[in-house]
Amino acid sequence: MRSLVALKKYEKYTFLEILNIKKNMECAKKISEQLSETDILDLEDKFLTHGFHYINVKDIAAGRRLVDKFLDSLQCYTQNAALTISNGSLELCVTDIYYELFKGGYVDSTYNFDFDGFFIHHFYYDFMWIEASNELVESQWFADFFQKMVSFKIDQQIPVLIISYQYPYN
């Protein structure tokens, strides 16, 4: 009986985390490709400060160009990672977390998860961004993944940029 109570708390927690993510995505600063001086300083702060940071851009391509531009100019991270379900390929120096989860057996075809194992044995990144499409954010495995990020205090160790997209969301 005790484990059922714990499970209900866990489900409520992940649901609340996802609601919080969506709320933060809606309130995220919209960034155009023409960056103002204020935009540059604000983004630089997001790239250099540990924690979850939210921005909103036109589309996935614009988000990737922005991230690439800042990572290239800052030159302070060696292990970059992106969580995306987009079909587009990432730069060679960026690890695709979604691919790593499946390749490493941390998520299987029936969506059984071992996120504890992933974060304990495989998470060694110093910068990460999440391409937060509606499909990704609304998936159950992402809710569990995000909850584990919070549990392992990933946001207190590295900057995590959560990029949402202007309407319509991609």
Q: How far apart are CA 159 and CA 49, in angstroms?
A: 6
- Residue among 129, 148, 152, 155 at smallest CA distance from 43: 129
Alpha helices in 1-157 (DSSP H): 2-27, 37-48, 60-74, 97-103, 115-121, 134-137, 140-151
Question: Residue 28 has which token pair?
Answer: 């995220």
91-128 confidence digits (pLDDT tens) = 888 999 999 998 888 887 777 788 999 999 999 999 99
Q: What are phi and psi for residue 130, nearest 5 degrees? A: -120, 125
Residues 6+ apart with CB under 8 A from 54: 24, 25, 27, 28, 29, 161, 162, 163, 164
83-95 confidence digits (pLDDT tens) = 999 888 888 889 9
- Residue among 168, 123, 140 at smallest CA distance from 10: 140
Q: Please give the model's pTM, rounded to 2 decimal places.
A: 0.82
